[in-house]
A and B are shown apart, each in its own frame.
Chain A
């Protein structure tokens, strides 16, 4: 069976930030595909370009200093990199929505939760040219608050953001993002600011609701425990490149790229409770000076001569993709 047409396809996307200190290559030829109703997890250390990718997809890269050097982003068959700003404004809200990391600052402190979710719904209804009244939009808003598991949704509807806890605010954000009935929801570290129990609830809820509204998700995190709980497929990023991609099970059971293996080994498990935590030697390279050849070779225990000169290409290996000379 051929793969269904992907909701989002990123081809060879290269983005650089031009600053006084030099050129930061944030993304170096990223390739990524998200299929309908799929949760794609994007993992990597800080500074590997996860958030830049999200911003590029949603058209919020700060230009300048950011600059798309080459590559395409195709969303539902439309190339959105070539769009002018006006055209991007039209695409936004018609198919991509976003949940941010900080639930504290992602709601306007001056308006009630109800005002803000109703606004999001109204924007969608206007776009769909549906007939609605303020009352029905509000009722839908309360309904969404109930769906994301907020106790006393009618009460919460009239509350201000600061009157809700972080977890509750993040639920509101998810409600707002999904109430726009997007084809793709980008979640940039949505659970990183929450405690572990709340994290688990939010992840479960996200999964359930995303299935319900049939949205695809690009889920960005640095936390392997989180990605294991939610993702169908996983892409591992390093220095602005996707180095390995496969289903969640494949990535966790038989990681191929040495970087993925090292990441998983540094993840504390039950059996390693009395051992010191394994770490990856070295640091994520400065994005102004990405190593020649394979960017991971200075930290890689399998590195050979050819790794220092030639940048490995993505290869299909037993059902998943990896960029490493070992395969």
Chain B
């Protein structure tokens, strides 16, 4: 039963990808991103063709060529290699931000919307409090207060990231609360906890997952912004946002140093957006047949 269900899911996914080539592009980008990140995590810097931190001033400012696909930077480091080893950092930041804030927001919002009354009022005012701050400014403030570093970038973003998920989950819970199957479950004598676990949260997962995938691109953007501002990964550790910053003074003479990492960020963000769109179709039970 489960096996045939899995096979059906795979077949459905395949059909959606064939019908929608943009979804396939999104999937390829997402898989390439995650694959590279995993490869670097497991195999280390040896995945890259050159040592990403080796300084060789005689090779500085090489434009993109077959030897150096993305060229070299002002210190003669291979940009392609640096871009590759930077992948797990951004993957880690993005997945941690989305994973934690989506799970927390899902639970927080579902409880708020389902219980209603005072609980809802208190929970939502807390959410409003966090939403009221401009997200980036708050994230920068938290990151500055905690000090630079990857973990702190994650923490800083979490503070501003969860309220959207809480709102989304609450909206879902409110409308699910009105459905007849939730009424039916109440009449059947199911406890509030059981209804929350069996009806409200499962029905809330797919919109959260779709939004989360769309949002992964945003999270990568935010992580890059904080690194660009010098609050994220510290040199010599390679990071895309940091690479854009390091290269910007050479923009007129050696554009590839900052433009290429910028394009990579753009592509990854776009890829997750396309994938999120496609996932919406996959998760809609009406498409299951």
- Name A residues whose Cβ lies closer than 8 Å to a Cβ of B: 58, 60, 89-90, 92-94, 96-98, 100, 102, 105-111, 116, 119-120, 123, 127, 158, 160, 162-163, 173, 176, 180
Interface residue stretch chosen among B75-83, B181-189, B221-229: B181-189
Tell me how far the C-beta of A73 lies from the nearest C-beta in chain B, rounded to whole angstroms: 15
Q: Is the CB of A60 within 8 A of B183?
A: yes
- Beta-carbon contact of A180 and B188 below 8 Å: yes
22 contacts between A and B (CB under 8 A): A58-B187, A60-B183, A60-B186, A89-B189, A93-B189, A94-B189, A96-B187, A98-B183, A98-B187, A100-B184, A105-B179, A105-B181, A106-B184, A108-B199, A110-B202, A110-B203, A116-B181, A119-B190, A123-B188, A160-B285, A160-B288, A176-B188
Residues in B with CB closer than 8 Å to A160 are 285, 288
Contact between chains at A108 and B187 (CB < 8 Å)? no
- Shortest A261–chain B CB gap in Å is 35
Shortest distance in angstroms between A137's beta carbon and chain B's nearest beta carbon?
14
- Set of chain B residues within 8 Å of A111, measured between Cβ atoms: 202
* A97 contact set on B, CB distance < 8 A: 187-188
Shortest beta-carbon distance from A289 to chain B in Å: 28
The distance in angstroms between the C-alpha atoms of A90 and B192, with both chains bound, is 12
Residues on A with C-beta less than 8 A from B190 are 93, 119, 123
Partner of B286, one of A116, A119, A123, A162: A162
**Inter-chain contact B188/A92, CB cutoff 8 Å:** yes
A163 to B202 alpha-carbon distance, docked (Å): 19
If A93-B187, A100-B183, A108-B199 are given as contacts, then 12 extra A-B residue pairs at C-beta distance below 8 Å, sorted by A number, are A58-B187, A89-B191, A92-B186, A93-B188, A93-B190, A96-B187, A106-B179, A106-B180, A108-B181, A108-B203, A109-B285, A119-B190
Docked complex Cα distance between A119 and B191 (Å) = 13
A162 touches B188 (CB 8 A): no
Shortest 6 CB-CB distances between A and B: which pairs? A93-B189, A106-B180, A100-B180, A108-B181, A93-B188, A92-B189
Q: B67 near A: Cβ within 8 Å?
A: no
- Most chain A beta-carbon contacts within 10 A, residue among B1, B189, B288: B189
Are B1 and A158 touching (Cβ within 8 A)? Answer: yes
Q: A160-B288, A162-B285 are in contact. Are A90 and B187 (CB under 8 A)?
A: no
Say how far B229's CB is from chain A's closest CB, in angstroms: 43
Any A CB within 8 A of the CB of B46 = no
B237 within 8 A of A: no
Please judge, given known A-B contacts A89-B191, A109-B285, A110-B285, whether A119 and B198 are in contact too, CB under 8 Å. yes
CB < 8 Å neighbour of B181 from A58, A89, A107, A162: A107
Shortest Cβ distance from A106 into B: residue: B180
- Tell me which residues across on chain A come within 8 A of B202, comparing CB atoms: 110-111
Enumerate chain A residues within 8 angstroms of B188, measured Cβ to Cβ: 92-93, 97, 119-120, 123, 176, 180
Q: Which residues of A contact B181 (CB under 8 A)?
A: 105-108, 116
Return A71 CB to nearest CB of chain B, in Å. 21
CA distance A107 to B1 in the complex (A): 21
Contacts of A176 in B (CB 8 A): 184, 188
Closest partner residue, chain B, to A180 (CB atom) = B188
Residues of A within 8 A of B1 (CB): 158
CB proximity of A114 to chain B, nearest CB, Å:
10
Encode contact with A along B142-165: 1 for CB under 8 Å, 0 otherwise.
000000000000000000000000
| Interface-centre pick from A98, A108, A160 (highest chain B CB count, 10 A) | A108
**Complex-state Cα separation, A201 to B276, whole angstroms:** 44
The smallest C-beta distance from A74 to any residue of chain B, in angstroms, reads 18
**Which residue in chain A gives the minimum CB-CB distance to B289?**
A163
Interface residues in B1-34 by Cβ distance below 8 A to A read: 1
Bound CA–CA A108/B202 (angstroms) = 10
| Chain B positions 259-289 with a Cβ under 8 Å from a chain A Cβ | 285-286, 288-289
A127 contacts which chain B residues (CB < 8 A)? 189
Residue of B nearest to A173 (CB): B184
- Chain A neighbourhood of B289, CB < 8 A: 163
Complex formed: what's the CA distance from A109 to B199 in Å?
Answer: 10
Q: Complex: how many Å from CA A100 to CA B185?
A: 12
Contacts of B184 in A (CB 8 A): 98, 100, 106, 173, 176
Output the nearest chain B residue to A176 by Cβ-Cβ distance. B184
Q: Are B189 and A123 in contact (CB under 8 A)?
A: yes
Q: When the two chains form their complex, are residues A102 and B180 in contact, meaning their CB atoms are under 8 A apart? A: yes
* List of B residues within 8 angstroms of A60 by Cβ: 183, 186-187
CA A94 to CA B1, docked complex, whole Å = 33
The smallest beta-carbon distance between B118 and chain A, in angstroms, is: 13
Q: In the complex, A120→B184 CA distance in Å?
A: 10
Determine whether the beta carbon of B189 is less than 8 Å from that of A90. Answer: yes
| Cα distance A93–B184 in the bound complex, in angstroms | 10
Interface flags, B188-225, vs A, CB<8A=1, else 0: 11110000001100110000000000000000000000
